[in-house]
A and B are shown apart, each in its own frame.
Chain A
Amino acid sequence: MNSNYNFAFLDEGSKREIRRSILKAVAIPGYQVPFGSRELPIGRGWGTGGIQLTLSLIGQDDILKVIDQGSDESVNAVNIKKFVGLCTDVLTTTKTNEATLIQTRHRIPEVKLNNNQILVLQVPLPEPLRRVEPREEITKKMHAETDYAPIWLQLYESIIKYKKVTISSEYPCMVEGRYIMNPSPIPKFDNEKLNKSECLYLFGAGREKKIYAIPPYTEVVSLAFDDVPFEKESFKGKKCCLCGSKNTYLDEMFDNITGAVFYQCSDTSYCKEVLECI
C-alpha cells in the first residue's frame, strides 16, 4: 500500500457520496442514479465506474476478486487489482466463493453467488434505450413514463428481418416490472443469473456517471415476446477442452500452429475448480 494516498484512493467525502448513491440505487432497482463520478488513474471506459464502487465499498476485512472476460489473469483485471493493491492492503483471491467483493467486466461467474457477496459490474453505456434514442433528456422522460414502445418495436423489427432478436451481449432486461435495464455487456448466457439471485449486483458507469443496482431476490426478465422466447448463446455439441464442461460459456480459440478451432471455459476460476475435482 502506498501511504501517499488515502485508503482506497478517493477522499472519504467522495466515498461517502458514492455510497449514498448506491443506497438510492438499491432502493429503486434498475433505476440509474446519477453521481459525481471522480477521475481515477485508470482510463474512463476501462472500468472506472466499477472501480469507484469497489473503492467506496472496500474495507480492511474484504477479500477482493477481479475478473475480466471471466478471467482473473486478463490484463485489465490484473491492472485493476494492482491499483486497488496500491491504495489498500486487502486480500485478493481468484476463488469465487472466497471473495466478498467481486469486480467484473463482461461476465458473471458460473458458480452461484450468495448473499454475503457483492458483484460489481463495469458498465460502458448504462442506458438501455440509447440504441433507440440518443438524447439523455428524452430517455430520462421515457423511463419516467415507462414509455418503452421504441425498444419493443426494435425487437419486433429484428424478428421480422432476421427471424431472431439480433442483440448479442448487453441484452436489455425488465427489473421488477418497472425499469428496463442494461445488464452491461455480459452475454445473454449470464442474464438469467440476475434473476432472483442471492447476491447484490451493483453496476457502475464512470464515464456516463450512473450507478444502478439489482438487490437480492429481484425479478429480472430478459425482454422477449410470448411467441418468440428469449434465446441465449448456444454451444451445442461443444465442450471445454480443459475441464470438459458443457454447461459453461465458452471462448472460441484457434490453435496457433494448426489453426484448429477449440473451446475453453471463459470463467477460468470455475474451470480450474472442475479440473481439480476430476
Chain B
Amino acid sequence: MAYVAVSGGKEAIEESIKLLDFYRSGTKNDIDLIAIENRMSLLVDRVMSEAGLYSKTYASLALKQCEGSIEEAVFLLRAYRSTLTRNYYTSVVNTDNMRITRRISAAFKDILGGQILGATYDYTHRLINFDIENEDSKELFDEVRRNLESQQIEEISPCPRVSNELKAEGLIDSFKIDNQRPYDVTENMLEFPSRRSARLQTLSRADTGFISGLAYSSLRGFGQVHPTVGELRSGYIELEVPYLFDSSESIYIGEILITEVECFSEADDGDKLKLAVGYGAVFGRNENKAIAMAVLDRELENTGPNPTQNEEFVLMHGDSLEMNGFISHLKLPHYVTFQSKLDIVRKTRGGYNE
C-alpha cells in the first residue's frame, strides 16, 4: 500500500497551476493592461480600495493574472505591498481642496458651490446595450474626445463642505483639527476599543460586499442609522511628502482619485437633538462603499444589540484577505484533527477504541 493520502502533492500542485493557464487562455484575443485600467476602471478602483494600494497599473496586472477575481487581485497587491519599504508618509490632505468631478447632496437642493452631477449610472436604465457587442472602440474614443474639445472649459473652484454651515448653526458638533499620527492597522494589531483612525482605515480597506450588506442591515432595522447623504464628492486630491531638508516645504508626488461621503443622522444631545456625522472615504469611484462606510462609522458610535453596533463584529470580519483566506483554508487537509474528532465522537457513543 502506498502513502495514499500524501503522495504526489508536489506534482499535483504544479499541474494544477499549469491548468490555470488553460482557463486564462480561452481565446487568442488579448486584453491589454491599458484596456483593463480604462474599460474596467470601476473594477480596478474596487481592487485598489480593498488592497489599500493605489496603483492602477498593478491592479490591472493583478486582475489579468487571476481571471478577474477580485479577491485574488486584492491578494496579489497586498502581498506585493508587504515587500515594499516605507520611505515616506504623506502630509495630511485637506479634502476641501479636492479637484471635484462629481458632488451631490441629498440633504439640500442648493448647496454652496453647487451640485455637480458628474458621471453616474444612477439615472441610467439598466438595459443591456446590444450595440456595445460590436462597438468600434477607436470611434468611441475619438468621438468622446471631439465632444470634450468642443466644450467650453469652466473652472470648478474648491467647494466648502455642506456640513460647515450646519456646524456654524450649532446643529453638528465642531471639533478641533486632530492631526495626530493615525493608528495604522497595517502595522499594528487592531485593538479594542479602537481609535477612530483605526476604524476608518479598516472600513476603507474592507470588502465592498461585506460592508454594504452590514450597512443595509442597519438601514433595514437591525440598527439605528438611516442617514441622509449630506454630501458625496468624487475627485482628485494632491499628495505631498515633507521635504527632507526643510520640513516647512513639501514635495508634490501626484494625485489620487477618491470618493468621500458625509452622512447626517439625528443623535441625542442631552434633552435636545443634534445631527451627527458619519464619514466615509475610499479609493476611486466606489460610491456605495463610501456611503456604507459612513453609515457604519456612525453606527459604531451607538451602543445596542445589533451586529453593526459591535465594533469587533464589524471590524474583524470584513478584510478580503482574512475572510477569503480563512474560508479557503477549509479545503486544506484536516486528517489529524478530523481523526481526533472521530475519536471523541465514537468515545461518547461507547464501545469504540476505549
- Contact B336–A37 (Cβ < 8 Å): no
Residues of B within 8 A of A234 (CB): 343, 353-354
- Contact A79–B6 (Cβ < 8 Å): no
One of B123-131, B174-182, B272-280, B325-333 contacting the partner: B325-333
Partner of B328, one of A36, A46, A187, A256: A46
One of B82-90, B218-226, B281-289 contacting the partner: B82-90
- Contact B333–A69 (Cβ < 8 Å): yes
Known interface pairs A13-B85, A187-B337. Does A68 touch B10 (Cβ–Cβ under 8 Å)? no
Known interface pairs A9-B82, A39-B79, A40-B79. Does A45 touch B327 (Cβ–Cβ under 8 Å)? yes
Instruction: Give CA–CA (A43, B319) in the complex, Å.
Output: 12
Whether a CB of chain A sits under 8 angstroms from the CB of B12 is: yes
Contact string, B321-354, partner A, CB cutoff 8 A, digits 1/0? 1101111110011111101111110011000011
Instruction: Give CA–CA (A73, B7) in the complex, Å.
Output: 6
One of A172-180, A194-202, A220-228, A235-243 contacting the partner: A235-243
Residues of A within 8 A of B84 (CB): 11
- Contact A124–B329 (Cβ < 8 Å): yes
Residues of B within 8 A of A34 (CB): 188-189, 191
- Contact A35–B10 (Cβ < 8 Å): no
One of A57-65, A147-155, A247-255 contacting the partner: A247-255
Interface size on B, residues (CB 8 A): 54
- Contact B322–A207 (Cβ < 8 Å): yes
- Contact A236–B353 (Cβ < 8 Å): yes
Interface centre among B193, B316, B329, B353 (most CB of A within 10 A): B329
Partner of B9, one of A44, A74, A242, A266: A74
- Contact A5–B83 (Cβ < 8 Å): yes
Whether a CB of chain B sits under 8 angstroms from the CB of A96 is: no
Whether a CB of chain B sits under 8 angstroms from the CB of A38 is: yes
Residues of A within 8 A of B327 (CB): 45
- Contact B326–A169 (Cβ < 8 Å): no
Whether a CB of chain A sits under 8 angstroms from the CB of B13 is: yes
Whether a CB of chain B sits under 8 angstroms from the CB of A116 is: no
Residues of B within 8 A of A131 (CB): none
- Contact B78–A73 (Cβ < 8 Å): no
Residues of B within 8 A of A135 (CB): 192, 312
Question: Taking CB as reference atom, which chain B residue is nearest A165?
Answer: B344
Interface, chain A (partner B; CB < 8 A): 5-6, 9-11, 13-14, 34-41, 43-46, 48, 68-71, 73-79, 82, 105-107, 124, 134-137, 162-164, 166-170, 185-189, 207, 209-210, 233-236, 241-242, 249-253, 255-256, 262, 264, 266, 268
Interface, chain B (partner A; CB < 8 A): 1, 3-10, 12-13, 75-76, 78-79, 81-85, 186-193, 312, 316, 321-322, 324-329, 332-337, 339-344, 347-348, 353-354
